[in-house]
Structure 1
Amino acid sequence: ETNAALENVKVTLLDDQFKTINEVTTAADGAYSFKVDCNKTYHIRVAKQDYETIEVPVIIKEQPGETKQPIALEKRIKPITVGTDLAKTLNIPIIYFDLDKSIIRKDAAFELEKILAVMQQYPKMKIDIRSHTDSRQTAKYNLALSDRRAKSTQQWLIKNGIKANRLTAKGYGESQLVNHCSDGVPCSETEHQLNRRSEFIVVSME
């Protein structure tokens, strides 16, 4: 809103597969820089406490030189408090899983990076990871599958630097569907996928 430069903003450089390459923080004048290869596409994520996390694609031309990429940050409108679902508050798309799988997909890892960034901004924050499935398979199977997914998400965050005592994880199976796609109801794959989701509920900020 003010166009003022922001210092101490975390800037992350990712490749075209959303894998982290490098991280820096902005200087007092808001400046940052990375050395990159020509003729490639990268993504830049910027994150600062109390601001919305932003990602932008950057296409590097074939000719050597300097590519400038200014990024405007907006103050976070929705405060983060106990009970907040980080996925909703931070406008993070639902973390999806493939049918019958608990492996973190590449697109899911990209979204989990946003959760990671926020937990790094709030070092005392603790969250409860809640995983849900669609109604296909038995209720018993889905409960076990969702628990594996929740634990898989938890382990991804731990592997990337979040302490285990800041995370709890539980699966709810098909007990909390978000639409009409219960047992025996014909639904599209897209409709079923909406139920295969994870939530990130803030349980403590202290």
Structure 2
Amino acid sequence: MQIRALMLLWVVALAGCQPSGQAGGESDPARKAAEAAEAAERAQLETLASQIAADRDAVAGFEVLHAGYGHGPDPRSGQSVPTIKVALANGSPVTVTRVSLHVRLANEGGGAPWLDQVFDVPLSAPLAPGAGDAVTMTPTGDSDWALKAPPEGVPVRVRVQALALRTPEGRELLTEHAMDDLQRERLDALRAASR
């Protein structure tokens, strides 16, 4: 009886060890899942790169002229709060009603940014081709920006880039900054791997 049980376990063990195709072949679910994830990632990055290329002429000439950081009165409470002032120039051929701005703030002495965030900013009036505007941004009291901001008087390094422009018709146009260097490198690597 024990020999029959051992024989049965041995047969089951052998059956479990039998190859079900080539090693690393199409029957490997983990490999299939990884390939599917890479294909989806590549498709997403290709779509982003295509839209940036398609929108290039429409957004050409839209610029962030200057971005400055300081403290100023909160329009809601009047208290002194961190403030970013951004000067925009619309040299593009489209009218812009909103702009997505990627803001990075770091202490002047160096180190990693203490704020790295995208803001969707409505403009006070549609910004026609050839026009300029100034935008003032202040944080809400419970935001990361308000909580992490250094005290007034501490010098802050500011970097602001326009990622996307929105037209009065609701069309969103992407700038070259909508894809960062890491995304470009990843897309190049995925393209090279599929050759």
Identify the TM-score tier after normalising by the shorter chain.
under 0.3
Structure with higher Rg: it is: 2
Higher RCO, 1 vs 2 (CA within 8 Å, ≥6 residues apart): 2
More strand as a share of residues:
2
TM-score, structure 1 normalization: 0.25
TM-score, structure 2 normalization: 0.26
